[in-house]
Structures are given as C-alpha cells and as structure tokens.
Structure 1
Amino acid sequence: MRPLQGIRIADFTVHNAGPFCTHLLSQLGAEVIKIESAMRLDAFRKPHPVYGREGPATFDQVASNKLSVRINLKKAEGVALAKRIVAASDVAAESFRPGVMDRLGLGYADLCAVREDIVMLSVSSSGQSGPDSHFAGYAPLFGAWGGLGELTGYADGPPVEIRHVMDHTVGMNAAVALMAALHRRRASGQGVHVDVAAREVAASLVGDLLLLAAAGGATARIGNAHPRMAPHGVYPAAGEDRWLALAVEDDAAWTALCGVMKRPDLASDPRFADGASRIRHRETLDSMVSHWSAGVEANAAAEQLQHAGVAAHASWTTPEIAADAHLRQRGAIVSVAEPDGTLRAAVGVPLRLSKGEDIGILRGTPRLGEHEDYVYGEILGMGRAERLALEAAEVIH
C-alpha cells in the first residue's frame, strides 16, 4: 500500500510551485485530479523549447501521475461541477493570486459548504493576508523578496536570479504543510485552510543571516566561497565547460588534496597551516587549485579525491545525471512514456521507504481531459446524457 493511498486531491494549481507540491503527493500515492480547461491552458502545458527539447517540458515534470479533467470555471455550471469533485476529495489545492478562488465561488468557505472537513491549500507569492498579499510573483521574485538573491552571487557582481529551485522548494514546503493538515484532520476531524507564502519560504532559508543582520552584523555575497572552509568552490577542469566542485573541511582533507595535486609542499606551507590561515589566503589557494584542476578530467579527479577523503565531484550536465547508474538503480531517475508512446527520463520522488512501498511515477503526462470517464463516470456517477449536455454547453471543455 502506498503511504497516501486513499487521499484524493482536487488540483486547481498552475505553473510550477503548486503543481510540484501535488506532484510529490501523487508519487506518495495520493490520487490527484488536475482540473484544467482548453479555454485557458496552464501556461506550462503549452509547448515551449526548453532543456534541449520541444514540448511542455516543465509541465511534463510536474503533471506525471496526475489525472486530467476539463472544466470551464468561467461558467456557473463549471464551478458547480468542480465542487462535486471537491466534495469527493480530501484536499483542494490552488495557486492563484489571493481572491481569485473567492471570486470564482471556490473559496475556503464555499468548499467547506460542500465538504465540511476539506483541507484547502493556497500557494501564493505573499500569502492570503497582509499588505502585500495582492502582489503577483514568480520564482525569481520569491528569491528576491526572501533575501536569497541578495546573498547569492560574487562580491563584485549583482544579486543572482534564483528560478526553478525556488518553485520546487515552495512546493516541498507546501507538501509538508498539507500532510501535517491531513494528520491533524485525522486526529480532530476538522479541516483547515493551509496558507503558504513563497517569499516566506525563501526567507526561512536565510534565518542564520537574518539573525546576523539583527545583531548588527554585515552580510555579503561570497560567490562559491564558504565562511569556514577553504579551498571551497567550483574549479575549471579539462575540456570545454567542465568543472570540479570540492570542499576541504579540515586539515586532513587539506593534506589529502595536496597529495592528489602532487604538491606536498603546500601541506607544510605556514600560509595554509590551519583552516583560519587557508581562509585568509583563499584567493591564493583558489588560484593554485584552479591551475591544477584545469589539467585534469573532472570525473577522474573527483574519484581520486573521494578515495583520498576529500569531498569532490564533477559538476554534471543533465545528460550525465539522466544516465547515472546510481540514480537509475535507486529509482531517482525513471523512464516514463509520453502520450505518443516514446520514453523520456523523469525525476522520481527523492525518498525511499524501508517497507518497499511502490512510490514514484507510475504514469506519464496526461492528455487534456484524458481521465473524464473515470472521474465523471466512476467517482461522480454522472450519466452519459448529463455529460454530453455539459460538453455541448462548453462546461466540460
């Protein structure tokens, strides 16, 4: 039995952060019904060239495992149909600007009227309340608002835009919040409205530096450097656009790195005698490591460094990740079928359970409206005449 088997989610989310949340839950066994419409396609369902392929690449990532039904929410009959799905669900998830669901007649109070113990998730840029709640936002803005952008980049450069990783981090936080809400409902019998603000998720990731600032300290962008480790960073390797990431955490690792570099003299150099000294001379160290690394193959060097006790790895390209035997064996990278039957690599759920539950991606991207026979027929008990009438009226469209 899959961990969330028996949980059904009416999924109104769009774009990436909200859909990534429900995607994770679907891999844990929840039945996720994506409610969408040909009248206004999810922007990510539209084909767009990205990641070296044509087609809806981002949508493919976050829609696998889900069921798809069409509902035109611009019509009152469509809203009524959506409520019927919610009434048969445990969770309703949405990621519109605050107020949109209320204006549609699908706000939390409206949904409680059709299922008293419904758990509703709302993912937005700044939350459902507060002076900035009306602000629109996308992944780069979340990081900017939350302080991650200001802290990311080189000392002599601008803040760095943080994109999809921000959406996915918001989605993971939302998934944890939803599971907590479901656990609470199981204990109390009460539903709840879960409010996840993306900018607050970003700010939660820089808590140590917020404390530093509150105490009067100064924060600064430090590139790939580390406040307590040197050498630490990403260094050029042999070949075009090849890089080696490494982190020297203590004196033993430093001595080991010197051995791999065939520079035992550096291990006894007083400039690099301890961690504090290496940090003071980090620029000199970085230059020396870069000079060595530029002549070695990244994967071979990483293997040699790991064997010597130094944390290191090549900075892999996405094709290397997709072909990695370790990730494939663990089911972190799987093959799923696209609508035309061709196979593509997909990212599986990033966890394992010791009981051997069958978690992960079981099916590929759904075609628009692909599962209406099951949802409208088996779940809602809708007859053929009613369904044809709703299709003729462009309620199911």
Structure 2
Amino acid sequence: MRLDGVRILDLSRLLPGPYATQLLADSGAEVVKVEDTDAGDYARAMEPLTDRDTGAIFEMVNRGKRSVALDLKSEDGRAAFYRLVEESDVVLESFRPGVVDRLGIDYETLLEHNEELIYCSLTGYGQNGPWADRAGHDLNYVSVAGLLDMTRESPDAKPQTPGYPIGDMAGGLFAAFAIVEAVLARELGNADGEYVDIALADVVASFSQAVAYQSLTGDPAEPRPSETPLTGALPWYDSYETADGRWLVLAALEPKFWRAFCEAVGREDLVDEHGTDDPDVRAALRAELEDVFRERTREEWETALADVDAAVTGVYAPAELAAHPQFRARGLVERSENAPPRIGFPARHRETSTETTESVPGHGEHTRRYLAEVGYDEAAIDRLLESDAVR
C-alpha cells in the first residue's frame, strides 16, 4: 500500500522523528516539516556539514519533504497550524511530555480541528512513568533497555557504545510502522483518529526477545554478557581477526554450516566439536579458529568461502558499504544531482519505486505555498511574515 495522498505534519527534530517521516516520504506520503521561525530543526547546523553547509544528518533524513516555519508560541502561528491540521492526516511530535499542552497543539485540542487525525508522540521514555520527563539521548535509552550491558565481552569489561544510534533508528522505524498501522485502521473503517505513544527505550527493550525468557524468569543479573548463544559464548558463532588485521564473522549455528566450513578449510577433525557444552573444549576450539583465520586476509577468506554454505562474512566499515557488490546490486545507495547520496528505503517494491529524488527543503521554503493552500490570501501571508509569526 502506497501512502500517496497522506499528508503528515512533522514537528520533530534531529534524528528519530525525521527518520520515521523519511521512511513515510519514501513510501509516498507528503511530509511537511513544521519548524520554528528561529533556527528550525537543530540538525540543519549539526556537524559534519555537507558541501551545501547543511548538517549531514539533516540531509540524510529530510529528503523530498516540505518546510513550513511557524511560531507556535504566537496566536497567529497556532492559528495557521490549526488550518494545516484540518487538511492533514497525521501529526508527529517529539517534544518532552507537557510541551504540546503548553503550546496548545496537544491531541485533544487538535481533534477539535480534525476528528480523524492520527497523532504520534515519539519520546525517550513515553508519556507516563517516573522517567517520562527525564532528558536523554540514544546512549541513555540503550543503556536502560539492557542493550548496552550486552555489548560487554565479560562482566568486568566496559560496555561498548554501539556504532549506530540503535534507539533513535529503532524508535523512528517503529513510529513509522505505528503510523501506517493507524492509517490503515482508519481507511478500513476500524477507527477514526488515533493517539500513539512511542518510547525509544520501550522499542529497544522489545529487541531483547532472544534473551527475554532467561532475563524475565531468572536472576536479574543473568544472562551475563558473552554467555548467551548469540553474544559470544559459542566459538562457531563469533568474530575472528584475519592476516591483514581485519575481521570475519563465522555464524555456523547449524551443524550443516559448521561441517561445510570445516571441510572447506581442511579441518574435518573439528566437525564433532560443534555443539559441545564443555568450556575447555570451547576454549581450545576458539584458539584453533583464531589460528585458522589468521592464515589469510579478509579478501582471501571471502574469495575462498564465497561458494561455501558456511555463513562466513567479512566485517565491513560503513565507508565500504557503497562499494560492496551486494548493496550495489540492491541499489541501496541512492545518488542524484540535486541531493547528497544517501541510504535509500530498505525495501524493494516490484511495481512502485521508493526512491526520493527531490532535494532537502530550505528552512521555511514552502511556508507561503501551504498557507495559500489552507486559505490565506497574499495580503494575510505578507502580514504573518512581517509579524514573524511565520517565516
């Protein structure tokens, strides 16, 4: 289902909310960024900057959107926003709980202007609970949700900060999913408007399914890092350094993959050690594998095992992604003349394209257009611009 004809007013800034609405824009929705009249989305000025002197993060997640700048603290700015709400399907906001109430743009207020409105609040800890008003960033959310603890190689080791902002991206993805769910329910006649409360910390916690049973039924301190089948406990499911100082991962959980690997590297003597629970045997096997993988470079190993069903892949840096033959074949990296290269929509539709070729919007670039669409004449728009209620 394409989202053509669905208009979304995006009040969010930085990364989680804009990532959510970028996914929706890629799916055909018309996304209007509603920014303040001062600096707008903070990400516009965040380093690193592109050759257009715009924040790289901003350009990555705001392509093909529109920008309307309104002062929602002013009566005229709110009045203009209410008119936009009347002609829209979705509002997404990421303010701290209580801010939208003070601004007069909360769900109950906006329902008076559009009874079929879908309203999504995306925050760190949600709208209720003792932590609802706490400040936070991605590192806080992955920390409280248990993910950061699972990055440690041992109970005494320092937690390792993930290379990607997992909470921000996961929260944005889930917000997009929840909005599509609400739009579909409305179109099917199962609901009118809807309020959706999403907490980034909740979404990260929901990623713990692989260890949830042990964690919820046993000692709160268990399972410890590196003691689960998917976090380093198994020598046949781990990463290994190669001769050139790079890394490979071996993910031979199934015996058939392990056997194929052992036969390919000439170590049939190791086949029967798969599945052992003996810690000494596991330690010896890990040492053997370390020696094996140090015999060749990453490229040599990938070439040698390319046609072997052994679940072996190289560990790649983000900078290598664009040149990787798999991602190139998938067309994941998108390039166009009027916008920076970016990682595109990660789903392929047979009948419709999800590529967004338009550029990122300038701050307030579309204010006049949208005010005209909702009934303001030229004189009224000029008056609002002069009063600084809009930009």
Give TM-score scaled by structure 2 length.
0.90
**1:41-87 Cα shifts (integer Å, max 9, x gaps):** 32211140289997411111211121111112232211211121111
Q: Which of the numbers 214, 217, 222 marks the counterpart of 2:216?
A: 214
Partners of 1:52 and 1:246 lie apart in 2 by 40
Which residue in 2 is equivalent to 1:347?
A: 343
Q: Is the 8 A contact 2:167 2:201 kept in 1?
A: no
Which residue in 1 is equivalent to 2:117?
A: 118
Q: Which of the numbers 382, 386, 389 marks the counterpart of 1:392?
A: 386
Which residue in 1 is equivalent to 2:365?
A: 370
Q: Is the 8 A contact 1:126 1:197 kept in 2?
A: yes
Q: Secondary structure at the match of 1:322?
A: coil
Alignment size in residue pairs: 385
Does 1:380 pair with 2:374? yes
Partners of 1:124 and 1:224 lie apart in 2 by 31
Q: Secondary structure at the match of 1:239?
A: coil
Measured after TM superposition, the shift of residue 159 of structure 1 is 2.7
Measured after TM superposition, the shift of residue 131 of structure 1 is 2.3
Which residue in 2 is equivalent to 1:142?
A: 141
Q: Secondary structure at the match of 1:84?
A: helix
Partners of 1:299 and 1:390 lie apart in 2 by 61
Partners of 2:365 and 2:323 lie apart in 1 by 30
**Deviant stretches of 4+, over 6 Å:** 50-54
Q: Which of the numbers 249, 252, 257 marks the counterpart of 2:253?
A: 249
Map 1:243-392 → 2, pairs under 5 A: 243-267=247-271, 272-276=272-276, 281-337=281-337, 341=338, 344-354=340-350, 356-377=351-372, 379-392=373-386
Q: Is the 8 A contact 1:305 1:311 kept in 2?
A: no
Deviates more, 1:219-228 or 1:254-263: 219-228
Partner amino acid for 2:361? P
Deviates more, 1:290-299 or 1:310-319: 290-299
Which residue in 2 is equivalent to 1:237?
A: 242
Partner amino acid for 2:355? G
Measured after TM superposition, the shift of residue 309 of structure 1 is 1.1
Partners of 2:205 and 2:386 lie apart in 1 by 48
Deviates more, 1:127-136 or 1:107-116: 127-136
Q: Is the 8 A contact 1:303 1:313 kept in 2?
A: no
Cα distance change of structure 1 residues 230 and 102 upon mapping to structure 2, 3 Å threshold:
same
Partners of 1:64 and 1:53 lie apart in 2 by 14
Partner amino acid for 2:248? L
Does 1:81 pair with 2:80? yes
Q: Is the 8 A contact 2:8 2:30 kept in 1?
A: yes
Partners of 2:117 and 2:52 lie apart in 1 by 39
Partner amino acid for 1:367? G
Q: Is the 8 A contact 1:231 1:282 kept in 2?
A: no
Cα distance change of structure 1 residues 373 and 294 upon mapping to structure 2, 3 Å threshold:
farther
Q: Is the 8 A contact 1:9 1:31 kept in 2?
A: yes
Q: Is the 8 A contact 2:36 2:70 kept in 1?
A: yes
Partners of 1:266 and 1:376 lie apart in 2 by 71
Map 1:178-217 → 2, pairs under 5 A: 178-186=179-187, 187-188=189-190, 190-217=192-219
Q: Secondary structure at the match of 1:23?
A: helix
Cα distance change of structure 1 residues 208 and 262 upon mapping to structure 2, 3 Å threshold:
closer
Q: Secondary structure at the match of 1:363?
A: coil
Map 1:50-129 → 2, pairs under 5 A: 55-129=54-128
Measured after TM superposition, the shift of residue 130 of structure 1 is 2.2
Q: Secondary structure at the match of 2:305?
A: helix
Map 1:2-17 → 2, pairs under 5 A: 3-17=2-16
Q: Secondary structure at the match of 1:45?
A: helix
Cα distance change of structure 1 residues 53 and 114 upon mapping to structure 2, 3 Å threshold:
closer
Give TM-score scaled by structure 1 length.
0.89
**1:208-259 Cα shifts (integer Å, max 9, x gaps):** 533313322421111896378532222112335x211221223332233233
Q: Secondary structure at the match of 2:313?
A: strand
Q: Is the 8 A contact 1:230 1:249 kept in 2?
A: no
Q: Is the 8 A contact 1:139 1:167 kept in 2?
A: yes
Cα distance change of structure 1 residues 128 and 19 upon mapping to structure 2, 3 Å threshold:
same
Once the two structures are aligned, what percentage of the paired residues are identical?
A: 29
State the Cα RMSD in Å.
2.5
Q: Is the 8 A contact 2:37 2:390 kept in 1?
A: no
Structure 1, unaligned runs of 5 or more:
none
Measured after TM superposition, the shift of residue 299 of structure 1 is 3.2
Measured after TM superposition, the shift of residue 364 of structure 1 is 2.7
Partners of 1:118 and 1:41 lie apart in 2 by 24
Which residue in 1 is equivalent to 2:172?
A: 171
Partners of 1:232 and 1:51 lie apart in 2 by 39
Q: Is the 8 A contact 2:40 2:69 kept in 1?
A: no
Q: Secondary structure at the match of 2:321?
A: helix
Structure 2, unaligned runs of 5 or more:
none
Deviates more, 1:155-164 or 1:45-54: 45-54
